[in-house]
Structure 1
């Protein structure tokens, strides 16, 4: 046979047959020749056709024998075992009819010289094309089943291949599949009838060719991802070329084999496209034609800036508009926009049975009197240090209720879905949420089991929603952040995180979701390496023993090197998950670069981890095992070594020190300052998180007059492209971080192009972040009149610069950040430039010292 795909067909002496019920042995191939036939219905559906091809391909990979695929009444030789795949006369004769199956249910039944593999399938009869030796040819591979359709027969075949034949799919790479080699394939099939534990299993639903980057800890960092990718797909590239379609189908195969998909119930921030429909035309010419007309009554009131940050969720006009959109969505096959608006692509984005209502991703809600009545009602609900509170639960769920009641009048068989997220994460207190509404609870720190107070708090909310659902009977789902949050902090700070391995916590969470009746999980990010495989397996069967799943993974991937590789994984997991190893000083960010490499990935631990990598390299026996160890090296270990090296560079990098001269009293009027006497801040600015000089350079000056601190910032930019955000952030703005020490607490002052100011206290009030300082006294003169220069002059009362104030002779600490919009910077989604090297927003441990001259 061809080496097709090279799914790493390897010689492994023993099949994984644990957990199988003893029964009559059936021989499918004998000495490399077929001893069985695959039988389909006369007109099989797509899922059955694809399942038959999958079964045929894997059996050939195992034994070298090609089992014939027959349809309808075509006869198989009497000596052959009959493998009935999908709905047909044989399945129906033993009671396995389509009508008898529940959603996503499937069965395996064996008897004398036969095995029936069948499940609930979508009725699509389109002809499937399947040729894994020509994945780059779209004419030879199409009409494959989708993630969101019933494909129970395919599940049955994949279970049979895994549990009956010893096949394992660990990842989509050339060496990520284990297929035992047996010229004679004898199986001892177990009968079963089941459905996956969770009916909604959305681990991934983007362009499948980007799956590896989505999972990789390197993410957007090409310098690390590209070498891993080249090594991981060197064989298939050599045979099938560097073709995006090959990569797409390789990953699609893996995701289908792992049962990704099921019942589609997506939820996310759902109203961003209203800006393009009802605020202003899109800048995209094709999308601009969908602009209906400006309707300010739909949007949040009381904000400056280019556009309001939210909608007005007590607006009757908004209720009517969203209701009509939901009805059209259900009646007309989803969204109608042939050009993707902000978040409304053509078709059933949320699922054919669900329509999502979820506000924008911020808490800058409407200031109109009607909205404020409901907002004030919840102001003390769940307030504290936690991310997930109930401050806006009554407010937001009241709006969802208003739409839900209207939609169910016309579509009682459909559902609204929304998130329990951020400031509306708690079960509402004064509003009874309509049972027609499905809820996805956003477990924000599920990937951070070390953060005990927050983790336990959110576990309580997971249970609270389940308790509420006992009465309401609403569908519940979990929104998971596996692999997302710790990588997001690192990416935003442009540093390398300590890998967040947490397989045992994943197992505990999945078991809890099952016990509480959650119907599925959506994953906003996936963890790297092992944890993604664990996640897939437990979404399918939450009762699995995670330690056995880990043994299965390491044995299958690394062979003789399994022991040191597993020990390395468990060592990293233990360090990541242990709260005792995190900074106890709240002034040190628990998710920052210092925590990652000053507390977790210490020099001593890195030495021990390195010894295990050396041992694994020495033990790896086969070329496949050696390559998989190399892939872990490129994918994880190199990332860790680079992170540690960057941290050491950061520790030794110089920090600016400036004396702010005393100038004549300007009375807080920045236009009256004798700026020629002010101290320059220098002309070196850096890309966030490192020492790379920024592509855009700025100038600044600083001075004080004993009562006020003055700053002048000059940005040589195209001022016509400046974006004015209603909350100042996230762009375009200057952000000044002042503190009395190089740690929390600090004060964050944000200044926008119109002179708008926001002042925030970070860590000053019960260690809470982003607490507004309303009476800050800051005065700003912003000048954007020149086409090529934005000049900001800021006057800050010295009594407000740091907690307790400052005076002449004191030293305060400062970092300055410029957050630039894509139009200004040419970088998407924005750029962050820092005055102090190796820093980013909220990192104050390297702040410059500012001595206030007497």
Structure 2
């Protein structure tokens, strides 16, 4: 972002000849002026994403009123006395120049404070709203989170602003924070969202007419069985489909689409015809799946379509995802069409560590991937996953990734960024704010930005709260786990680190009063999720699913209260808890309910071996006499395979021994959660499994009863898990404690 600030000054200056007086003794001396026809809104709350000079003026009046304690009038002509604040078109009419600001998206803003008048405007309605927000920040205001608790403004009866000129424009053409059930309102505009829309979505189905398969089946993808199938997947090597596709993209543009997406569908329905496969380089392997990358075929298709479209719409940019099995750069030396944008969407890459982290193979690969696309694509977009899949609802602060990644991407031609995040302010407040501010200006100093945040948001509690959040960032950076979510994030919160967090929050609570105490309490409530989540894990490790349920209910009830205040996302505040935790807890509770009793919890660490050829059963891996002395030991529920350096997309085998007691009841093994289809063997015999819950729809197969009959004593339990299907969570295998139960 380019920025020019001249003669910066602030409040209560002693040189009135070079200043503008806005308030004195709690009485406003300013009048906001907008052009006739720009009528102010009757109500003070600015609607989500609303723009226009009247909206900008009303926002300015609202915040000045909060600061001074008196209303600032808005009118269509200069006042007879006092200080006029000209906004938008009125500022331009009063002499403010904007045409020298070079902004493709017309988002340049300029603020001029001179003797007894203020001029504020942008090159568009949205930019004028941003200019007002920028002026308020110059006055000391901040909007840290999208609720009243996030509003920061000085209370001052006297307000004088020094002469100053501020000129700026955003560093990226489009900044797009998105998440479910979060309109964002003026918070997004204030902190830098907006710009020229770059559409990015799975979109092939929009450009292929329904019923075309009957006439041209050759346009559609061929499956591995040699048959072509109707649907959204295409045979991209076919010249005819390229023409139809390009023609319909042009039609969409003429109908109003601006910078449309031309990305493939989600999934893996890639055409298997000889012509398409011939475009793939067998030496280029997609690291997340081990499959041959399909990037080159798609790059050729996108390039051809883009050049056809450019003949009729040369100024429109076409966007395509770099995603799934087409993240690897294409094997071509020529630059792609100048009207293309490669949108990096690293959904299968680590979400915990920074790009280029030397201890994270995934993020090191990501830098090579980005560099490769930067060499062939005229511009890049980036889909920034700012939270984890299977989100653990635990506090997270990705300061180090933001600090390193935004300038790195800007250096490689970044045009826009989408930030996918959940509006869970109790958990991610600082990183939501930081990520959007750095999307607006990738070159800003994140240390200075966050020091300002900690000081203004927490007041006297700034030091311990800074230590709290930066501690989370540091602990995440060294986590030897690349899966994230419920299954990896718990590793951040070790016993020692939990004690450190509790100490910092206690110091902050003791120091804070008033609104600062409310903000500390909000983030202390977020940290309580850590305590409850650890309690849930510890209870399941004992086979005590009732205690786990108690902690789970307490956790969700607290989040529901936060959601009602908009401090947690109303749709996804507890959605991942329900999806990934409740099934394991409820299933275990059902399987261990009286009169069934828990006899034993099998150990966390099992013998483990990958089975790439899927011949383990033939080799006797399930047999009680099989020699497993060379098998490695792995943790099951206390760590993921990823966290142990084992990211195996193959068949997995586990073995352990359980002591079978003397008893009269029937025995069963309960597996609350296994990632992948599983077969259980006891002393070499496969055990028929029944589901805990009807139609379970989790990532795991969930056997309720794996009944068996063996003599008392030691029995060998073996489990075969098919982990060949890719999971974006990068898990695989046994994820929760296995419990031996006895029923009458």
CA distance in structure 2 between the aligned counterparts of 1:98 and 1:112, rounded to whole angstroms: 23
Is the counterpart of residue 609 in structure 1 residue 501 in structure 2?
Answer: yes
CA distance in structure 1 between the aligned counterparts of 2:519 and 2:91, rounded to whole angstroms: 45
Aligned to 1:770: 649
Q: Structure 1 residues 274 and 262 mapped into 2: Cα distance closer, same or farther (>3 Å)? A: closer
Aligned to 1:51: 56
- Give secondary structure in 2 for the equivalent of 1:116: strand
**1:475-524 deviation per Cα after TM superposition (whole angstroms, max 9, x unaligned):** 322221111xx3x1x35xxxx36543221320221122233331221123
Q: Structure 2: which 5+ residue stretches go unaligned?
A: 1-8, 40-50, 546-579, 592-604, 615-640, 653-677, 706-720, 722-728
* Corresponding residue to 2:141 among 167, 192, 195: 167
Q: Structure 1 residues 309 and 68 mapped into 2: Cα distance closer, same or farther (>3 Å)? A: closer
Q: Structure 1 residues 607 and 696 mapped into 2: Cα distance closer, same or farther (>3 Å)? A: closer
Is the counterpart of residue 582 in structure 1 residue 480 in structure 2?
Answer: yes
Aligned-pair CA distance for 1:692: 0.7
- Give secondary structure in 2 for the equivalent of 1:529: helix
Q: Is the 8 A contact 1:104 1:152 kept in 2?
A: yes
**1:610-654 deviation per Cα after TM superposition (whole angstroms, max 9, x unaligned):** 2222222222211x12221221122x2122112211221232239
CA distance in structure 1 between the aligned counterparts of 2:291 and 2:86, rounded to whole angstroms: 53
Is the counterpart of residue 109 in structure 1 residue 112 in structure 2?
Answer: yes
Aligned to 2:374: 466
Aligned-pair CA distance for 1:423: 2.3
Q: Is the 8 A contact 1:825 1:831 kept in 2?
A: no
CA distance in structure 1 between the aligned counterparts of 2:738 and 2:209, rounded to whole angstroms: 42
CA distance in structure 2 between the aligned counterparts of 1:567 and 1:744, rounded to whole angstroms: 42
Q: Structure 1: which 5+ residue stretches go unaligned?
A: 1-14, 123-150, 212-247, 280-291, 335-351, 584-588, 656-685, 698-739, 750-761, 774-800
* Corresponding residue to 1:369 among 274, 288, 291: 274
CA distance in structure 1 between the aligned counterparts of 2:224 and 2:207, rounded to whole angstroms: 17
Aligned to 1:144: none
Aligned-pair CA distance for 1:52: 1.1
Aligned-pair CA distance for 1:167: 0.7
Q: Structure 1 residues 382 and 499 mapped into 2: Cα distance closer, same or farther (>3 Å)? A: farther
Q: Is the 8 A contact 1:44 1:87 kept in 2?
A: no
Aligned-pair CA distance for 1:161: 0.2
Q: Structure 1 residues 396 and 741 mapped into 2: Cα distance closer, same or farther (>3 Å)? A: farther
- Give secondary structure in 2 for the equivalent of 1:410: coil
Aligned to 2:298: 396
CA distance in structure 2 between the aligned counterparts of 1:356 and 1:184, rounded to whole angstroms: 51
Aligned to 1:754: none
Is the counterpart of residue 596 in structure 1 residue 489 in structure 2?
Answer: yes
Q: Is the 8 A contact 1:388 1:423 kept in 2?
A: no
* Corresponding residue to 2:438 among 527, 532, 538: 538
Q: Is the 8 A contact 1:688 1:832 kept in 2?
A: no
TM-score, normalised with respect to structure 1: 0.61
**1:815-852 deviation per Cα after TM superposition (whole angstroms, max 9, x unaligned):** 979799xxx9597xx78551279x997232558699xx
* Corresponding residue to 2:585 among 686, 691, 700: 691
Q: Is the 8 A contact 1:161 1:167 kept in 2?
A: yes
CA distance in structure 2 between the aligned counterparts of 1:815 and 1:596, rounded to whole angstroms: 33
Q: Is the 8 A contact 1:499 1:576 kept in 2?
A: no
Aligned to 1:626: 517
Q: Is the 8 A contact 1:199 1:519 kept in 2?
A: yes
Aligned to 2:87: 85
Q: Structure 1 residues 545 and 321 mapped into 2: Cα distance closer, same or farther (>3 Å)? A: same
CA distance in structure 1 between the aligned counterparts of 2:23 and 2:338, rounded to whole angstroms: 54
Is the counterpart of residue 192 in structure 1 residue 166 in structure 2?
Answer: yes
Aligned-pair CA distance for 1:65: 2.5
- Give secondary structure in 2 for the equivalent of 1:413: coil
Aligned to 2:235: 312
Aligned to 2:44: none
* Corresponding residue to 1:476 among 362, 380, 384: 380
Instruction: Map 1:307-346 to 2 at 5 A.
Output: 310-334=233-257
CA distance in structure 2 between the aligned counterparts of 1:744 and 1:497, rounded to whole angstroms: 32
CA distance in structure 2 between the aligned counterparts of 1:435 and 1:552, rounded to whole angstroms: 40
**1:659-699 deviation per Cα after TM superposition (whole angstroms, max 9, x unaligned):** xxxxxxxxxxxxxxxxxxxxxxxxxxx977623128999xx
* Corresponding residue to 1:356 among 248, 257, 261: 261
Aligned-pair CA distance for 1:95: 3.3
Instruction: Map 1:423-442 to 2 at 5 A.
Output: 423-430=325-332, 432=334, 433-442=336-345
Aligned to 1:239: none
* Corresponding residue to 2:456 among 551, 556, 571: 556
- Give secondary structure in 2 for the equivalent of 1:519: strand
CA distance in structure 2 between the aligned counterparts of 1:52 and 1:197, rounded to whole angstroms: 25
Is the counterpart of residue 453 in structure 1 residue 453 in structure 2?
Answer: no
- Give secondary structure in 2 for the equivalent of 1:96: coil
Aligned-pair CA distance for 1:67: 2.2
Q: Structure 1 residues 817 and 90 mapped into 2: Cα distance closer, same or farther (>3 Å)? A: farther
Aligned to 2:551: none
Aligned-pair CA distance for 1:811: 9.0
Aligned to 1:529: 429
Q: Is the 8 A contact 2:101 2:108 kept in 1?
A: no
Aligned-pair CA distance for 1:262: 0.9
Q: Structure 1 residues 23 and 271 mapped into 2: Cα distance closer, same or farther (>3 Å)? A: farther
Is the counterpart of residue 63 in structure 1 residue 38 in structure 2?
Answer: no
Q: Structure 1 residues 116 and 748 mapped into 2: Cα distance closer, same or farther (>3 Å)? A: farther
* Corresponding residue to 1:261 among 191, 194, 199: 194
CA distance in structure 2 between the aligned counterparts of 1:520 and 1:176, rounded to whole angstroms: 26
CA distance in structure 1 between the aligned counterparts of 2:333 and 2:690, rounded to whole angstroms: 42
Q: Is the 8 A contact 2:91 2:120 kept in 1?
A: no
**1:307-328 deviation per Cα after TM superposition (whole angstroms, max 9, x unaligned):** 7683322234432332232112
Aligned-pair CA distance for 1:178: 0.8
TM-score, normalised with respect to structure 2: 0.69
Decide which moves more: 304-313 or 173-182.
304-313
Q: Is the 8 A contact 2:262 2:320 kept in 1?
A: yes
Aligned-pair CA distance for 1:200: 0.9
Aligned to 1:155: 130
Aligned to 2:31: 37
CA distance in structure 2 between the aligned counterparts of 1:696 and 1:270, rounded to whole angstroms: 43
CA RMSD across the alignment: 4.3
Q: Structure 1 residues 104 and 512 mapped into 2: Cα distance closer, same or farther (>3 Å)? A: same
**1:35-91 deviation per Cα after TM superposition (whole angstroms, max 9, x unaligned):** 1221222345952221111111111111123222222xx34124x122111124755
CA distance in structure 2 between the aligned counterparts of 1:30 and 1:67, rounded to whole angstroms: 12
CA distance in structure 2 between the aligned counterparts of 1:446 and 1:626, rounded to whole angstroms: 32
Aligned-pair CA distance for 1:329: 0.8
Q: Structure 1 residues 742 and 87 mapped into 2: Cα distance closer, same or farther (>3 Å)? A: farther
Is the counterpart of residue 650 in structure 1 residue 540 in structure 2?
Answer: yes
Q: Structure 1 residues 695 and 772 mapped into 2: Cα distance closer, same or farther (>3 Å)? A: closer
CA distance in structure 2 between the aligned counterparts of 1:692 and 1:169, rounded to whole angstroms: 41
Q: Structure 1 residues 323 and 772 mapped into 2: Cα distance closer, same or farther (>3 Å)? A: farther
CA distance in structure 2 between the aligned counterparts of 1:642 and 1:22, rounded to whole angstroms: 58
**1:94-117 deviation per Cα after TM superposition (whole angstroms, max 9, x unaligned):** 533599865211111222211211
CA distance in structure 2 between the aligned counterparts of 1:63 and 1:825, rounded to whole angstroms: 60
